[in-house]
Structure formats: C-alpha cells, structure tokens
Amino acid sequence: MRTREMVRYDNVEIDLVAEGRGPLIVMLPSRGRDSLDFDDVASRLAQAGYRVLRPQPRGAGKSQGPLDNIRLQDLARDVAHVIAREQAGPAVIAGHAFGNWVARMTATDHSALVRGIVLVAAAAKAYPEELRAVVQQAADTSLPDELRLAALRKGFFHPAHDASVWLHGWAPAANKAQSVAVSATKQAEYWQAGTVPMLDLVPDHDPFKPKEKWNESREEFGGRVSVVVIPNASHALIPEQPGAVVDAIVAWIAKL
C-alpha cells in the first residue's frame, strides 16, 4: 500500500510518499523534479521486500520550509528526520542526479542513519559548464515545449527514448532552492559521503559522466564503491531503464 503524509519538525514540513515493508530505501529526485518520478521503481522495490520512502524536496509537492539562505546540510537534515522517524534504520539512500549530493551530505552529517548510498546517474566531479544551461532550460516551464524538449534530448534522454515524459513534473520552487543550497555548499563538504559503501549507477549515454569518467568514483574511493554501467540510458535514467535500476540496487544491497 502506498501512503502519503506530512512529516514535521521545527519550521519544516516534508510531504512523504511511502510504501512496502522491510529494510529502508530512501529515494531523492533529480534537481527540480518531483519524487513521483520514482513511482515505477519504488513499486518494484516494495515488491522486492523493501520499505521505500520518498520525501518530496522543499518546494515540491506539499513540502515546505525555508528556501532562501539554505545549504545542502539543511536538505540532508530533512532526509535524516524522515529516516529517524521510521525507527527502522539505517537506510540506503538512492539519490538521482542532484539527489546524490543530498545523499552524500546525509551520509556525511548523519552517518548512523545511513547504511549506504546509490548514486543514480550522478554527474562526474567536474562536467562541462554548458550543461548547467541545459538543465535550466529543461526546467523552465515558461519556455516553449520545443526548446525544453531540445534541452531534455541533449542533456537527459537517450536518442531512442521519449523525452516528452519529462515536460511535466518540475517544481520551480524546489529547483530555485536547490540552486541556492548547492551554491552555498563547498563540494568538499559532501563529496566524501562519510565512509559508507556506494553504488554508482552510470548510464552509458550520460553527457554528465562520459565514458572516460565511468570509474571516477571507484578510482577516488576504492573498494567501497561498486560501479554498474546501465546501457541505453542517459541522465534521466529512471524513466528510461527502471528495471535495470531496480535489479542493480537489489543485487548490491544483498551484498552489504
């Protein structure tokens, strides 16, 4: 059964989608995206025997909280409260694109609550500056669909896949707040992800992590990183290859 409720602490309200029973998996969406992107993947993981939590980012769904003058540490605190409330942790956190930075930050600041993290289509440590403009264009719902589709095809979707599925599902307030948070946080503050194990799911057509950087995380962090390359997918990955994503996550968790 899928449920939806509000998790409150201090001046923050988190819109939480949850389903399944078993070990905890928390799923964090890409920048400016709604966590409902994970509907298919979450359902499959729940059927595989996991309790799947999807906290909507501040500014998405009904989630509320300060959106100005925030850092990634604030967004990680939201995730930590959702996990702690379950009293069933630690959890595996799967962060899609921007979400992987929040996952790393949560593992850094709240290590007791995190069993491991999954980097879902995580960008390389450094990627072409021009791709930032592609992200903004794709997320700007005031632009004509044709321009946004061009951006989605360039930065997010494999040529064989329908990019129009991402014309909707954007949360402008969340996108703006996440931009503020990451700009205020040094990469060195979150990149290490504490000492937890990491699974790096790499789409084979992701412009944010070209082939020469597929093993970048393993080269930096050694044996605590497992790398799985998923074929026929780009930066969006989740709507492109949901089955492959679920299979990789389930297989990796079984080895933790």
Tell whether the model's pLDDT for residue 89 goes beyond 90.
Answer: no
**What is the H or E stretch that residue 53 is in?**
strand 51-55
pLDDT in tens, 169-206: 999 999 999 999 999 999 999 999 999 999 999 999 99
Tell me what pLDDT residue 216 has.
97
What pLDDT, on a 0 to 100 scale, did the predictor assign at position 133? 93
Preceding amide of 57 cis, omega within 30:
no
Query: What percentage of the chain carries pLDDT values higher than 90?
Result: 98
Q: Which amino acid is residue 97, in one-letter code?
A: A
Taking only the tens place, the pLDDT of each residue in 3-13 is: 999 999 999 99
Residue at 53: amino acid letter: L
pLDDT score, position 248? 98
Cα dist from 64 to 94, 183, 232, whole Å: 22, 20, 36
Tell me how far apart the terminal alpha carbons of the chain are, to the nearest angstrom.
27
Which residue type sits at 149? L
Amino acid type, 86: E
Interstrand relation of 114-120 and 198-203 (parallel, antiparallel or unpaired): parallel
When the pLDDT of each residue in the chain is averaged and rounded to a whole number, the result is: 97
Q: State the fold for domain 2-126+171-254.
A: Rossmann fold (3.40.50)
User: In 3D, which of 129, 84, 122 has the Cα closest to residue 103?
Assistant: 122
- The arithmetic mean of pLDDT across residues 72-89, rounded, is 97
- pTM assigned to the model: 0.97
Q: Give me the mean pLDDT over the 236-241 stretch.
A: 98
**Residue 186 CB neighbours (<10 A):** 10
Pairwise CA distance, residues 206 & 221, whole Å: 21
| Tokens read off for 82 | 């959702």
The rounded Cα 37 to chain-centroid distance in angstroms is 10
What ranges do the domains of the chain cover?
2-126+171-254
Q: Which of 115, 101, 126, 122 is nearest to 200 (CA)?
A: 122
Element spanning 91, H or E:
strand 91-96
CB 201 within 8 A of CB 237: yes
Q: What value, to the nearest 5°, has the Cα angle with vertex 79 and ends 78 and 83? A: 120
Compute the distance between CA of residue 71 and CA of residue 128 in angstroms, rounded to an integer: 23
